[in-house]
A and B are shown apart, each in its own frame.
Chain A
Amino acid sequence: EVQLVESGGGFVQPGRSLRLSCAASGFTFDDYAMHWVRQAPGKGLEWVSGINWNSGIIGYADSVRGRFTISRDNAKNSLDLQMNSLRAEDTALYYCVKDSLASGWYYFDYWGQGTLVTVSS
């Protein structure tokens, strides 16, 4: 059974940093690209960042480029999102999401339950 378990969310002041992690199990982690997708309270889905199987291809939404950094550790079956210079508009539930292909940029077949990030003074 595929499991994606996010951690690291919390309450943080604007301008500060936070690091999210996702522990993956139930599939061969380094066979698939991975993504972060967020959902602001009461709003729709927004893709944040993605990384292919070997970290050779990485993409970011314009809204986070230059502030967020995605990374993965295939030996530990883990996906991270380093979030710097956080803004109030980054407040959202952050989902760890499995791509259906190694090379990535395909549809998302499994989602974690999310970790909540709240940015407020």
Chain B
Amino acid sequence: IVLTQSPGTLSLSPGERATLSCRANQSVSSNYLAWYQQKPGQAPRLLIYGASSRATGIPDRFSGSGSGTDFTLTISRLEPEDFAVYYCQQYGSSPPYTFGQGTKMEIK
């Protein structure tokens, strides 16, 4: 499965709403789609699994949606600490796992 994320870069201001897209070239079984956040110099952190379930400790301004081949990560009101790179990943099927190429969210 190939995952394509868009846009490549998203320029927004704190307080704005962010919508990130992840599209698969074939259906993702059981909506096994995760989102990760990576800040500069840090390891990735799990945000969302199962397309829409928030991981432990993740603020409710982060939400995931979608099914089949189209998935979305939404950040309702951007905080300064949310500016980072976001990756989607499909899992649950036989390896290899695949990640999207990432969306960089930068401060406008």
Contact A111 B44, beta carbon cutoff 8 Å = yes
Tell me the total A-B contact number using a CB cutoff of 8 A.
64
Evaluate whether A44 and B99 lie within 8 angstroms (CB atoms) in the complex, with A106-B92, A107-B89 already known: yes
Contact A62 B43, beta carbon cutoff 8 Å = no
Contact B55 A45, beta carbon cutoff 8 Å = no
Chain A CB within 10 Å, residue with most, of B34, B45, B95:
B95
| Chain B window 19-59, contacts with chain A (Cβ cutoff 8 Å), 1 for yes, 0 for no | 00000000000001010100000111110011000010000
Contact B96 A47, beta carbon cutoff 8 Å = yes
A contacts with B: majority SS:
strand
Chain A residues with CB under 8 Å of chain B are 35, 44-47, 50, 59-62, 95, 100, 105-114
B101 at the interface (CB under 8 A from A): yes
> How big is chain B's contact interface, by range?
20 to 34
On chain A, the residues within 8 Å of B97 by CB distance are 35, 47, 50, 105
Chain B CB within 10 Å, residue with most, of A46, A60, A105, A114:
A105
State A114–B41 Cα separation when bound (angstroms).
10
Give the Cβ gap from B99 to chain A, nearest Cβ, in Å: 4
Contact B92 A109, beta carbon cutoff 8 Å = no
Contact A47 B45, beta carbon cutoff 8 Å = no
Chain B residue with minimal CB distance to A99? B91
B44 CB contact (under 8 Å) in A45, A59, A62: A45
State A9–B94 Cα separation when bound (angstroms).
28
| Chain B window 47-85, contacts with chain A (Cβ cutoff 8 Å), 1 for yes, 0 for no | 001100001000000000000000000000000000000
B98 at the interface (CB under 8 A from A): yes
Which 4 A-B pairs have CB atoms at the shortest separation, nearest pair first? A59-B95, A47-B97, A111-B43, A107-B34
On chain B, the residues within 8 Å of A111 by CB distance are 43-45
B93 at the interface (CB under 8 A from A): yes
State A112–B42 Cα separation when bound (angstroms).
9
On chain B, the residues within 8 Å of A114 by CB distance are 43
On chain B, the residues within 8 Å of A47 by CB distance are 95-99
On chain A, the residues within 8 Å of B102 by CB distance are 44-45
On chain B, the residues within 8 Å of A59 by CB distance are 94-96
